[in-house]
Amino acid sequence: GATTMNALTTGQWDITQLTTQPALTMLTLALMMKLGIAPLHAWLPEVMQGTSTKMALILATWQKLAPLAMLFMMSHLLHTPTILTLALLSTLIGGWGGLNQTQLRKLMAFSSIAHLGWVTSMLTLNNHLDIATLGLYISMTTTMFSTMLPTDMKSLKDTTTTWPAMPPTMLTILLTLISLG
């Protein structure tokens, strides 16, 4: 949609040269929705809760790479105050939304919303720091999901029954959850 709109008005199909504001806004909102940035985040917690743990890992990590790469390429075109506002809103909603969660995948979804708020804010400030922030987020999230997979944990209550059987794994989960918070 956004590239077609840009091509009709300017004659260029290149998304890194979006010169019309409606096309840039449309593409930015589409990428923010794909990333699960607030206020376009409502789909992410329910989808991650309703899917398998492996698919939730993919949604929380791998799915973020392409839209962030596009935002990275277009960062010079983005309206910084708008992006920072969405990033702050996402960080706040992700943090508040995760407070009462007991289901681990839903908790990880709200963590994703909050962390992608930080990643998006870094996009406007320092591109190198943005890549470092994204790498840290992906490594912590992958660690958490990798420890959830063999234990088949679905909620925080499952940690109490798994602790006696696998103390090192539970310690890893505890430290990762603290780091993600």
The tens digit of pLDDT for each residue in 32-58 reads 999 999 999 999 999 999 999 999 999
pLDDT at site 109? 95
The tens digit of pLDDT for each residue in 104-118 reads 999 999 999 999 999
Tokens of 83: 């992006």
Residue 45, preceding bond cis, omega within 30 degrees? Answer: no
Helix, strand, coil tally for the chain in percent (to 5) = 75, 0, 20
With 0-12 / 13-18 / 19 or more C-beta atoms within 10 angstroms meaning exposed / middle / buried, residue 14 is exposed
The tens digit of pLDDT for each residue in 53-111 reads 999 999 999 999 999 999 998 888 888 999 999 999 999 999 999 998 989 999 999 99
Tokens of 72: 């990275």
Q: Quickly count: other Cβ atoms within 10 Å of residue 31's Cβ.
A: 21
Contact 180, 144 (CB under 8 A): yes
CA pair distance 122, 97, nearest whole angstrom: 22
30 φ/ψ angles, rounded to the nearest 5 degrees: -65, -40
pLDDT at site 26? 87
Find the length of the chain. Answer: 181
On average, the pLDDT of the chain sits at 88
pLDDT at residue 181 above 70? no
H or E segment to which residue 107 belongs: helix 104-125
